[in-house]
């Protein structure tokens, strides 16, 4: 069998100490669960060929196309603040890279194709190198939903069942996810070489990452500083976008932070239902290090780790290097605040929010937290409220206020909000259009994801397919998806998520 893939593998041309070359471990009985035909086509791959037996065999790791140069990447990282000198792809194998062809919406962009759950590697430590169906379907749904929400993210090309069991707390069906990413270069990749004082590798990795993600900065007199500045800006924007949809990553370790600025590693992540800044889902995050409201601070901490790994390349004079790197990391706060104001300003209907508008936004969030209001539903409802409540009084604000334990808490905010919007140019319809484009109607709610996984475990992919289809159009309020938009009832809410490795 042959399957030709248009791979062009730039990472595999880096020195051997960047990775371990090895093939995926074949699985018993590959079966295609889901193919992202649209993404395949955008990448210049033939969806029909991928769905045929040899295509599925490749997506399972059973067939390695001639042009592939499979490898497991080396990296290190801080996990929950603790240093781990060697992590690396313990259950993922990079098959190769493709460049999207002319005419594609992704034209000219380079992407990694990585199999997650492809078997043991030299970096597996105690792990089995495998993944089970639940986390594979979860990553598929959530990463594709993030993309549809316009947030930079790795994508999902396919999910394949392996026909093998994996042992976790229980015996569970195995699966492999094909992940597509601008790259899998992490803060931890730089830390891996910094810890080994391998300056040559740091330099090569910096040049590689800069050319790949920030080509406009190639030729900069200090490439490492340019890379740091761009990564800081990309992460500030990314985290502000997460905050705007109530997303909690859950494991913002430095090995799960991509220098491309894409969201990567969907483990115990979740979107909030009712709003509270201290919300944590991950079962292993006992101290709330990665709680919703901590995410910007943690991103800064991660950027400081990148800065410290890059120090030797920033300036030969150490004090000077520290000074310049510190300045670059400090740029996170103003960049984040500006992005946050932009994101949340639009959510309440302001085309250009100023600093003076921050209290209005914060006061809504505080009222939502005090009143357990649903994050997505409350913001979305704003776009359907009338310009004035009129004869009905506050009842006209029902879609928003009814979600508050004490609806009057919304009313006092709403009168300030209307007064502020009255000072904006353009009419009410223009304000509503801004809000509708900034407040998704549909997010991947946790209880729906878990429901889809439960059904898949029982052999029914229907709920997964339905959720995936609906999540591709998060801005629309289609009547047939009303149940998917509804917040969970008390007994439906899922408050804990698991790493699910
Ligand atoms: P993660 O929590 O997914 O970011 O993974 C952290 C580290 O553990 C990475 O080095 C992974 O490759 C490794 N790892 C996670 N699950 C497994 C597994 N089932 N087998 C081998 N290595 C794993
Ligand atoms: Mg990881």
In this structure, the strands spanning 82-84 and 92-99 are: unpaired
Comparing CA positions, the residue from 482, 484, 382 lying closest to residue 438 is 382
Encode pLDDT of 114-131 as tens digits. Answer: 999 999 999 999 999 999
The predicted pLDDT at position 186 comes to 98
Mean pLDDT of the chain: 97
**Cβ-contact 309, 197 below 8 angstroms:** no
pLDDT(1) > 60: no
Neighbours of 229 (CB within 10 A): 21
Residue 69 CB coordination number (10 Å): 16
pLDDT tens-digit series, residues 391-425: 889 999 999 999 999 999 999 999 999 999 999 99
Please pick, among 42, 89, 112, 255, the residue that the annotation labels catalytic: 255
In this predicted structure, the answer to whether residue 2 has a pLDDT above a threshold of 70 is: no
**Cβ atoms of 413 and 367 closer than 8 Å:** yes
Q: How close is the Cα of 501 to the center of ligand 1, in Å?
A: 7
Q: 461 is written with which tokens?
A: 């992919």
Ligand 2 center to 501 CA (angstroms): 10
**Tokens found for residue 320:** 């000077």
Ligand 1 binding site (Cβ under 6 Å of any ligand atom):
87-91, 123-124, 127-130, 251, 255-256, 265, 267, 499, 501
What is the end-to-end Cα distance of the chain in Å, rounded?
32
Count of all residues that appear for the chain in the document: 501
363 is catalytic: no
490/105 Cα distance (integer angstroms): 42
- Structure confidence at residue 286 (pLDDT): 87
Q: Average pLDDT of 166-191?
A: 97
Query: What tens digit of pLDDT does each residue of 312-326 get?
Result: 999 999 999 999 999
**Among 298, 263, 264, residue whose Cα is nearest residue 280:** 298
- Rounded CA-CA distance 495/501 in Å is 19
Q: In DSSP terms, which residues pair with 112 in a beta bridge? A: 97, 181
In this structure, are residues 174 and 45 in contact, taking their beta carbons and an 8 Å threshold? no
**With 80 as the cut, is the pLDDT of residue 498 above it?**
no
Q: Cα(290)–Cα(281) distance, rounded to whole angstroms?
A: 9
Q: Percentage of residues in the chain with pLDDT exceeding 70?
A: 99
Helix (H, G, I), strand (E, B) or coil at 68: coil
Residue 455 in this model has a pLDDT that exceeds 60: yes
492/479 Cα distance (integer angstroms): 21
* Cα–Cα distance, 156 to 139 (Å, whole number): 8
pLDDT of 378-394, one tens digit each? Answer: 999 999 999 999 888 99
Ligand 1 centroid–CA 220 distance in Å is: 35
Testing ligand 1's pocket by substitution, the residue of 19, 251, 501 carrying the most ligand atoms inside 8 A of its CB is 501
Q: Whose CA is nearest to atom 23 of ligand 1?
A: 90
Q: Which of these, 280, 290, 214, lies nearest to 252 by C-alpha position?
A: 290
pLDDT tens-digit readout, 238-297: 999 999 999 999 999 999 999 999 999 999 999 999 999 999 999 999 889 999 999 999
């Amino acid at each position: 069998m042959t399957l030709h893939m248009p791979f062009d593998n730039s990472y595999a041309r880096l020195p051997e100490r960047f990775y371990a070359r090895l093939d995926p471990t074949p699985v018993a009985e590959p079966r295609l669960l889901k193919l992202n035909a649209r993404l395949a086509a955008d990448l210049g791959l033939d969806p029909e060929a991928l769905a045929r037996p040899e295509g599925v065999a490749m997506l399972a790791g059973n067939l390695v196309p001639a042009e592939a140069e499979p490898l497991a990447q080396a990296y290190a990282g801080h996990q929950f603040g603790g240093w781990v000198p060697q992590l690396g792809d313990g259950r993922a194998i990079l098959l190769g890279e493709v460049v999207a062809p002319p005419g594609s919406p992704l034209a000219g962009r380079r992407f990694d194709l990585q199999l997650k759950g492809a078997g043991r590697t030299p970096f597996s430590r105690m792990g089995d190198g495998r993944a089970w169906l639940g986390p594979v379907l979860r990553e598929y749904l959530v990463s594709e939903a993030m993309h549809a929400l316009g947030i930079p993210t790795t994508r999902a090309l396919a999910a394949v069942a392996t026909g093998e069991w994996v042992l976790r707390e229980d015996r569970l069906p195995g699966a492999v996810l094909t992940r597509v990413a601008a790259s899998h270069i992490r803060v931890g990749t730089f830390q891996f070489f910094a810890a080994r004082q391998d300056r040559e590798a740091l330099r090569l990795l910096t040049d590689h990452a800069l050319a790949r993600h920030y080509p406009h900065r190639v030729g900069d007199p200090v490439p490492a500083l340019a890379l740091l500045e761009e990564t800081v800006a990309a992460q500030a924007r990314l985290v502000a976008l997460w905050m705007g949809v109530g997303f909690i990553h859950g494991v913002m370790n430095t090995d799960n932070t991509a220098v491309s600025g894409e969201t990567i590693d969907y483990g115990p992540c979740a979107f909030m239902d009712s709003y509270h800044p201290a919300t944590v889902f991950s079962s292993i995050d006992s101290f709330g290090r990665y709680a919703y409201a901590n995410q910007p601070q943690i991103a800064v901490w991660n950027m400081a780790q990148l800065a410290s790994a890059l120090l030797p390349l920033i300036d030969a004079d150490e004090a000077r290097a520290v000074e310049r790197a510190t300045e670059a990391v400090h740029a996170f706060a103003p960049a984040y605040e500006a992005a946050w104001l932009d994101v949340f300003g639009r959510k309440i209907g302001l085309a250009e929010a100023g600093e003076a508008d921050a209290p209005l936004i914060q006061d809504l969030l505080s009222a939502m937290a005090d009143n357990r209001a649903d994050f997505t539903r409350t913001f979305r409802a704003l776009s359907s409220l009338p310009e004035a409540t009129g004869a009905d009084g506050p009842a006209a604000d029902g879609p928003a206020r009814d979600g508050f334990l004490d609806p009057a808490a919304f009313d006092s905010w709403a009168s300030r909000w209307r007064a502020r919007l009255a000072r904006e140019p353009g009419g009410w319809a223009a304000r509503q259009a801004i809000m509708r484009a900034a407040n998704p109607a549909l997010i991947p709610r946790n209880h729906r994801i878990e429901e889809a996984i439960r059904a898949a475990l029982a052999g029914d992919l229907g709920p997964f397919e339905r959720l995936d289809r609906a999540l591709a159009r998060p801005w629309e309020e289609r009547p047939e998806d009303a149940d998917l938009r509804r917040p969970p009832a008390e007994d439906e809410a899922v408050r804990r998520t698991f790493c699910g490795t």
